[in-house]
Amino acid sequence: MTDASHTSHATDATDATDATDAAREPRVAPALARTGPRDRFGRVIDYLRISITDRCNLRCVYCMPLEHPDLAEDDHLLTAGEIETLVRCATAIGFRKFRLTGGEPTLRRDLVEICRRVSRVPGVEDLAMTTNAVRLPELAVDLRAAGLRRVNVHIDSLDAVTLPRMMRLGRSERLLAGIEAAERAGLTPIKLNVVVARGMNDHEVADLARLTVERDWHVRFIELMPLGSSAEARLSVTHFVSNVDTRRRVEAALGALEPLPIANASDESDNFRVAGARGVVGFISPVSNPYCGGCNRMRLTADGRFHLCLLNDDEMDVRAALRSGRPAAARREAVRAILLRAVAGKPTGHRLDAGLHTRGRRMHQIGG
């Protein structure tokens, strides 16, 4: 499905009861609320990325097949009320940062409602979204009013010829219109995520980095990662470009990059600035320079499973607990317990060096 009508059809009959009962529950101890849950390696895990759909309207070559993608049934996707309940459970154990992802999250017809519900949960300190920006001209203002704070926009090229080679159904003018709409609505800072592929868009990295000279945008170059066992995953081998090479190419055109101070130890991006520029150039290098030691993220798949590490197949089902039919308080306690077990079971890092990676999920099913 590629239109904007997609939403989950599962019932929200218990949502009002959930919200009322949640308000009666005792507050979490302040110390836990400040620090968040720790995994067995001592990392504080306080950031949850929530995939709200596995549909997409662009079908990037390294993410999703153009035809006959493997998609979840509509009633397997969490409803807006179930997402709110899950976020309440996550904040109760110390999660503070949330991001809505896809697929393409703007294809959910109830996206504004989801943002409104999540942003109003006590303990949510940050709500962001990753999007291709195509539908932001019509949604950005309402999303900002609903509590969304900022967006990361996926855009691999601004060239009319190159862009469709990677983002198959994308058009640069539509993506730029979406970015400008987000900026006008105050969904800032704008971060542009650029996946670099050899022989496809690697010749454009300097031009994309140059956008930061006049704009206060963050342009972040991302290495291809193998997700799944399909043609999309094989592309990450045949067309891989190390960010060592990408940075070298940027500096050859724009001069030496000035390193910026590390503001957050869990930031996956190494950030720099072109001399005199307004914006930031970042490099996200999961293959050539893994950042697993500072990872603070947990992921929820579109069909309601906690995915413990982007590049591993380990998962825990939470949808079944949300729909168990048990009393609301018991369901929430079960969700919290599953989330704590997921945090405890989070791996220390990926095993790409040993040829191991996610086999059971494609990128559009996890949310990146």
User: Residues 6 or more apart from 338 whose CB is under 8 A from it?
Assistant: 306, 316, 317, 318, 321
CA dist 261 and 97 (Å) reads 21
What is residue 11's predicted lDDT score, i.e. its pLDDT? 46
User: Residues 6 or more apart from 95 whose CB is under 8 A from it?
Assistant: 36, 37, 45, 46, 47, 48, 87, 123, 298
3-state DSSP assignment of residue 287 = coil
What is residue 23's predicted lDDT score, i.e. its pLDDT? 40
What is residue 315's predicted lDDT score, i.e. its pLDDT? 85
User: Residues 6 or more apart from 138 whose CB is under 8 A from it?
Assistant: none
Residue tagged 């097949």 (tokens): 65
Q: What is the mean pLDDT of each run of 10 residues along the chain (368 residues)?
A: 52 49 39 69 94 93 82 94 98 97 96 98 98 98 98 96 94 96 98 97 98 97 77 79 98 98 90 98 91 86 85 83 97 97 82 55 61
CA dist 114 and 27 (Å) reads 23
CA dist 250 and 368 (Å) reads 25
What is residue 157's predicted lDDT score, i.e. its pLDDT? 96
Judge contact between 287 and 223, C-beta under 8 A: yes
What is residue 293's predicted lDDT score, i.e. its pLDDT? 76
User: Residues 6 or more apart from 76 whose CB is under 8 A from it?
Assistant: 8, 303, 304, 319
Record the pTM: 0.89
How many Cβ atoms are within 10 Å of 122's Cβ, its own excluded?
Answer: 12
- CATH superfamily membership of 15-21+30-366: Aldolase class I (3.20.20.70)
Using alpha carbons, list the distances in angstroms from residue 86 to 42, 154, 305, 331, 337. 24, 26, 11, 10, 12
What is residue 308's predicted lDDT score, i.e. its pLDDT? 79
Kind plus residue range of the DSSP H or E element containing 328: helix 328-344
Judge contact between 223 and 243, C-beta under 8 A: yes
What is residue 1's predicted lDDT score, i.e. its pLDDT? 44
CA dist 345 and 45 (Å) reads 12
What is residue 362's predicted lDDT score, i.e. its pLDDT? 61
Task: Specify the DSSP class assigned to residue 323.
Answer: T
CA dist 116 and 145 (Å) reads 8
CA dist 103 and 172 (Å) reads 19
Paired strand residues for 101: 51
Please give the structure tokens belonging to residue 130.
Answer: 């990753």
| Domain ranges within the chain, ordered by starting residue | 15-21+30-366
